[in-house]
Amino acid sequence: MTASQIIFYILSAFILGMGILSVTSRKIFRSAIWLLFSLIGISGLYFWMEVEFIAAVQIVVYVGGIVVLIIFSIFLTQQSGKEMQKAPMMRMIAGALAVVFGFAFTYMLIDRYGFKPKSVVFDNSVARIGNAMLNTEQGGFSLPFEVVSILLLAAMIGCIVIAASPSPSKGGDKEAPSKSPPKEET
Amino acid sequence: MIPISHILFVSTALFFIGMYGLFTRRNMITMLMSIELMLNSVNINFVTFNKYLYPEKLDGIFFTIFIITIAAAEAAVAIAIIINLYRSHKSIDVEDATEMKY
């Protein structure tokens, strides 16, 4: 075994172990922290595959953005020291059976497919990605880029409208979106 | 050289771990975390296929970038909805939000 293989297996065990802890931990805050470690492991896997740009985006967006957002929402909605109630035994057994059989069948298909990797060097420099992203000709991705930018704008406005604090008069949930002051604050 | 099926083993296992969390949890934030795990396993798949099977193209990288973007937007909207639901129900358990069930 070369060093590269050893690193890959350590990273995989780290990702899967942290993922399992994240979905089984009974304390919600610990669960979020295990998720954080799992995402860091995945970005390590991207570094191992030498796709540095995706690894950097993974760290910036997931670890720096989404996990922090989740932790803030835990602080806003939960008593984080309290244990969550345990799932019913029947549901845990049924879920575990479904997952184990689904995994077995899927992996059997993958194992028998026989992928044949090409030995061409994969050029994924940031310059090439940027050129392809703003290219309007064949093989360019400028249309999905624009669509995603509109989607982000819509999601941002939607978040502000949904989570804006309701007006002082009770039961005014429906009027809340038409009020402008919460939007101007951000 | 690692065979591709070993990398796909990791992503498949991660997908089904997320699925187990989605089946057993009833708290909305933890369900959202399971969904994030599943999206990440899909990203690993895209990058692997692009790097080892079609190294002259960039489509998998772009799919990964767009999935990460959309996952961020989705998490933000979901958390806004969860906080709004917590304000009205004082609970973020999916069993407690059943007004639109019937």
Buried b (16+ CB within 10 A) or exposed e, B10-25: bbbbbbbbbbbbbbbb
Chain B residues with CB-CB distance to A92 below 8 A: 24
Report the residue from B12, B27, B47 with minimal CB separation from A107.
B12
Long-range CB pairs of B47-52, under 8 A, 24+ apart, other chains included: B47/A46, B47/A49, B47/A51, B47/A54, B48/A49, B48/B4, B48/B7, B48/B8, B48/B11, B50/A122, B51/A49, B51/A50, B51/A51, B51/A122, B51/A124, B52/A115, B52/A117, B52/A118, B52/B4
**In the A/B pair of chains, how many CB contacts fall below 8 A?**
208
Q: Do A103 and B13 touch (CB under 8 A)?
A: yes
- Residue A81 to chain B, least CA–CA distance (Å): 15
Question: Which ipTM score applies to this complex?
Answer: 0.92
Q: Which residue from B34, B55, B74 is facing A121, i.e. has the nearest CB?
A: B55
Contact A13, B13 (CB under 8 A): no
**Which amino acid type is present at position A172?**
G
Name, in order, each residue with C-beta under 8 angstroms of A167's C-beta and a sequence gap of 6 or more.
A175, A176, A179
Question: Structure pTM?
Answer: 0.87
Report residue A183's pLDDT band, with 50, 70 and 90 as the boundaries: very low
Give the range among A103-107, A116-120, B98-102 with minimum mean pLDDT: B98-102
For residues A130 and A57, the answer to whether their CB atoms sit within 8 Å is no
State yes or no: pLDDT of B94 exceeds 50.
Answer: yes
Average pLDDT over residues B76-87: 90
Nearest-Cα distance to chain B for A179, in Å, is: 16
pLDDT tens readout for residues A118-171 = 888 888 889 999 998 888 888 789 999 999 999 999 999 999 998 887 766 555
Percent over 70 (pLDDT), chain B: 99
Query: Would the CB atoms of A58 and B30 count as touching at under 8 Å?
Result: no
pLDDT band per the 50, 70, 90 thresholds, residue A178 = very low
The mean pLDDT value of chain B amounts to 90
